Amino acid sequence: MVWPVTRLVPSANELRRALLFFCLIPLGCSGGEPNQIGLFESLAEDPEVTCAPDLACAAPTPYCYGSLCVACLTDANCGNKFCEPSSHTCVDCVTSGDCKNDKPYCFAQHCRQCLMSENCGDPTLACDTRDGRCVPACQGEEECIGPESVCLPSLGVCVGCAEDADCPPDKQHCEANKCVACQVDDDCDPAKPFCDSEKSECVECLVADDCGAERACDMHKCL
C-alpha cells in the first residue's frame, strides 16, 4: 500500500492569509519601553505587503503606546517638561500646578502670568490675554509711556504699536502689536539682506548658500 504524502510546508497563499490574520490582531509593546512597537499595513491595499510586528520607534517619538510611536509616556520622559496624557507629547504644563510662581497659570499648555486682569493684583495692570502677560492698563493714549506707548482699546492694555506709523525707523513694521525690523527680505538693506522670520530681524544669512562659494553661515553670519 502507498500512503499519501502529507504536505507540512504551507504554500505562499496560506502564509499570506496567516500573516493577514495576525496583522488584524492589535499588537502591543511590553512595559512602554522605547523601540518596541507592533504595526501593520493592510493587505487589502497591497496584497504583497506584510506586517512588521517589531518595527522600532525612534526620536522624536521613541516610545510605544498601544500601536503608536509617541513622544512620552510619563513626565520622566520629558526632561523639564510634562507629558500630556491624551496626546503623549511633551508640553510646558498640563495643569497650573506644573507652573512656577512668576507664571502660575496654565493655559493652552503654556504657563502664563495671568488669565484675567484680576490675576495681576494691581489696578494699574491689565492682562494681555493673547500671551498671558500683565502689562500697564489704559483707557487712552495718555496713560501709556515708555516702549509700550500705544493704548489698545479692545483689551485696555498698553502695547508697542497698533500700526506701522507707531514704529521707529529701525523697526518700521507693526506685527502683533510689536515693532519689528522686517517681515520679508525686501525690508532689509544690502548689508543684512535676509529676514529671519522667527525673530523678525535682518541678518547676513539664513543658510550657507546665502554666503556664496566656500563660505559658511554660522549664527546668521557669513564666515
Whether 116 is in a domain gets the answer no
In this structure, of 50-54, 65-69, 102-106, 208-212, the range with the lowest mean pLDDT score is 50-54
**pLDDT at residue 179 is higher than 70:** yes
Whether 209 is in a domain gets the answer yes
Query: Which of 90, 111, 134 is at the close of a domain?
Result: 90
Average pLDDT over residues 122-138: 92
Residue 22 parent element (H or E): helix 12-23
Those residues whose C-beta lies under 8 Å from the C-beta of residue 52, and which sit 6 or more positions away, are 39, 40, 41
Average pLDDT over residues 68-76: 93
**pLDDT at residue 9 is higher than 50:** no
Whether 154 is in a domain gets the answer no
**pLDDT at residue 98 is higher than 80:** yes
Query: Which of 69, 90, 111 is at the close of a domain?
Result: 90
**Predicted TM-score of the model (pTM):** 0.56
Whether 40 is in a domain gets the answer yes
Residue type, 162: A
Number of structural domains, the chain? 2
Average pLDDT over residues 17-22: 40
Structural domain containing residue 209: 181-222
Query: Which of 90, 109, 135 is at the close of a domain?
Result: 90
How many CB atoms are closer than 10 A to CB 49? Answer: 16
Q: Which pLDDT band holds residue 160 (cuts at 50, 70, 90)?
A: very high
Nearest to 40 by CA among 9, 66, 14, 59: 66
